[in-house]
Structure 1
Amino acid sequence: MELRVLRYFQAVVADLNISRAAERLHVSQPTISRQLKDLETELGVTLFDRHGRHLQLTDSGEYFAHQVTQILALTDKTLSNIHTTQAVRGTVVIGCAESRNFLNVAQTIRTLQRQHPQIQVSLVSTNADEIRAHLKTGTFDFGVVMDPTDKSEFDFLKLPGESRWGLLVPRSSALATRDHLTLADLENQNLILSQQRGIREQLRDWYGESTPKFNVVATYNLLYNASLLVSAGVGYALCIDGIINTNQSDLVFIPLTPRLTTGTSLVWHKDQHFSPAAAAFLKQLAADNQQPLTS
């Protein structure tokens, strides 16, 4: 199975049309058709349902397309990182949870690129579960995750600062006039919760009981879309401060009391072999924070 054939397959998946894929790749249509047939024969599965010129991925094709995306992303990152001279160059891929503590990482990136201008950084906004999966496959070098999260499989560096938990509510809500909210105020409310693993367990710990009395009406992995649900009146979003700018908006962030906070960590897979660019980034971040690397 050649990388060239996987790129043909990826192009056809993007267009679901062999003619357009061939034109974009500057390859003849019969060449791509023959390569796809050979690929299906090699794999022993049908990747596309064919209805005339219309193509549709089979279930096996959907799975294979996902895997090919991961394989080619890892290949491209690897090639970028090994084609080095004496200067440090390459791409550092960081999966990021939403947190204003990411500013600390951003400042390190600024310093790093001044020292090594040929280093590029690719940021992917996602949640802790996706970060964990991509770190395992090697498509991410690092992840920025919010606690609580299971870090047993990772080495990590604790980032400075904490974010406070609270409720994102419409300005029209009766709660919007409050300076703070207690956990009791969340009972019998329609809540929108983060999908991150451990959030519900964290709520149970806060409440000190196994069945808090509130109604989960939706979940989110990134807060912006959740804020639109709040604006639409679907429910109130339990979140951390500093992510959504509520100035001149129809939303208000109200902190919880007693004060409930969460920290942020940079994580990477144990025994990971870093590219020169990734190693330079980690060394700079540790120096900026004057913190030891932790297992």
Structure 2
Amino acid sequence: MELRTLQYFVTVVKEGNITKAAQALHMTQPALSIQIKDLEEELGTPLVNRGNRHITLTTEGNFFYQKAREILGLVNFTRETLEGFSEINGTLYLGGTDSQYNEELFKTFHQLRQEYPQINLNFLSGTIEDTFKRLDSGDIDFAIILGPVDTEKYNTLPLPWWDIFSALVPDSSPLYLKEVLKHEDFETQQLILPNHPMIRKIVAGWLNMPLEMLNVSSVYTFPYTASSLVQAGLGIALCKDAILNTSQSNLRFIPIEDPISLPLQLLWRRDSAMSQVALKFLDVVTEKVAAAEYYPQ
């Protein structure tokens, strides 16, 4: 099986049509059809269901498509890495949670870019599941994660920051004028929680009730969505107050007695081959953490 055959198959799936895929690949439709048929014969299983205008994937085809993309992505990453060994260039891929402290990592990259102007940064926000999937598939070099992780699978660099969660409350709530919220204030409230399984478990333990008994009206991935959910009347949100500006709204952050706080960590796979850009970035971050330059004022 050749890499070009994998590229043919991935293109067919993306285009949803062999004729369009052939045009994109600058080859004839019969030649491409033969390549896909030969691939199916080599694998001993059908990969696509052929319709009059569109193709759909079989179960085996969907599995193969995911793996083909991973293989091609790894090949491209390896090629870019090897090209960058003679000179520091290329892209640093970061992913993970939105945090006020991400700015410190971005500043570090900016400093690195002053020395190596050919490098650039790609940051991918997402759920914790999305982030681990990207890290495992090699789509990102590092992940910024809240809370503990599997140290057998990942290298970790604890960062000297803790994300603290406060309650985002609308002015229509009877809690709005309180200076501090206690645990019992949450027991009768509809809750809007981050899309993070660990935080939901922490909240359940924090309120001393089973997870399934939490009155969760909705979950969110990005802080702005949390504010929109609160504005819509879906409850009060547990949110990182340093990210959102509520000064021009009818919402207010209220501190929580014994608040939920989680440490941030920088992760990378133990079995990953790191690019020159990633190695340089890790060196600088490690030095600054060791020197305590990252401790917030």
Match for 2:124: what amino acid?
Answer: V
**Aligned-partner Cα distance in 1 for 2:169–2:228:** 11
Secondary structure at 1:201 match in 2:
helix
Deviation track 1:222-257 (CA, whole Å, cap 9, x = no partner) reads: 344344333322333322222333343454333312
Match for 1:182: what amino acid?
Answer: K
1:137 corresponds to: 137
2:242 corresponds to: 242
Mark the CA change 1:170 to 1:20 in structure 2 (over 3 Å): closer, same or farther. farther
Percent identical: 36
TM alignment of 1:46-125, pairs within 5 A: 46-84=46-84, 86-125=86-125
**Aligned-partner Cα distance in 2 for 1:38–1:170:** 62
Mark the CA change 1:91 to 1:176 in structure 2 (over 3 Å): closer, same or farther. same
Say if 1:176 and 1:252, in contact at 8 Å, map to a contact too: yes
Q: 1:209, CA displacement in angstroms?
A: 5.6
1:190 corresponds to: 190
1:27 corresponds to: 27
Mark the CA change 1:229 to 1:47 in structure 2 (over 3 Å): closer, same or farther. farther
TM alignment of 1:150-169, pairs within 5 A: 150-169=150-169
**Aligned-partner Cα distance in 1 for 2:219–2:160:** 28
**Aligned-partner Cα distance in 2 for 1:96–1:169:** 26
Say if 2:48 and 2:55, in contact at 8 Å, map to a contact too: yes
Alignment TM-score, normalising by the size of structure 2: 0.86
1:229 corresponds to: 229
Secondary structure at 1:10 match in 2:
helix
Mark the CA change 1:114 to 1:106 in structure 2 (over 3 Å): closer, same or farther. same
Q: Which runs of 5+ in 1 are unaligned?
A: none
Q: 1:211, CA displacement in angstroms?
A: 5.8
Match for 2:169: what amino acid?
Answer: V
Q: 1:205, CA displacement in angstroms?
A: 4.0
Mark the CA change 1:209 to 1:54 in structure 2 (over 3 Å): closer, same or farther. closer
Deviation track 1:103-128 (CA, whole Å, cap 9, x = no partner) reads: 11101110111111222322211233
Deviation track 1:148-181 (CA, whole Å, cap 9, x = no partner) reads: 5454532222223322212233343333333332
Match for 2:121: what amino acid?
Answer: V
Alignment TM-score, normalising by the size of structure 1: 0.86
Deviation track 1:39-79 (CA, whole Å, cap 9, x = no partner) reads: 22222232222220122223333332222232222221221
Say if 1:128 and 1:149, in contact at 8 Å, map to a contact too: no
Secondary structure at 1:257 match in 2:
coil
Match for 1:74: what amino acid?
Answer: L
Kindly tell me the number of residue pairs found equivalent between the two proteins. Answer: 292
1:270 corresponds to: 270
Mark the CA change 1:52 to 1:177 in structure 2 (over 3 Å): closer, same or farther. same
**Aligned-partner Cα distance in 2 for 1:256–1:105:** 28
Higher mean C-alpha displacement, 246-255 vs 68-77: 246-255
Q: Which runs of 5+ in 2 are unaligned?
A: 293-297
Tell me the C-alpha RMSD between the 2 structures.
2.6
Q: 1:145, CA displacement in angstroms?
A: 0.6
Mark the CA change 1:99 to 1:112 in structure 2 (over 3 Å): closer, same or farther. same
Mark the CA change 1:159 to 1:48 in structure 2 (over 3 Å): closer, same or farther. same
Higher mean C-alpha displacement, 156-165 vs 215-224: 215-224
Say if 1:135 and 1:142, in contact at 8 Å, map to a contact too: yes
**Aligned-partner Cα distance in 2 for 1:174–1:149:** 38
2:172 corresponds to: 172
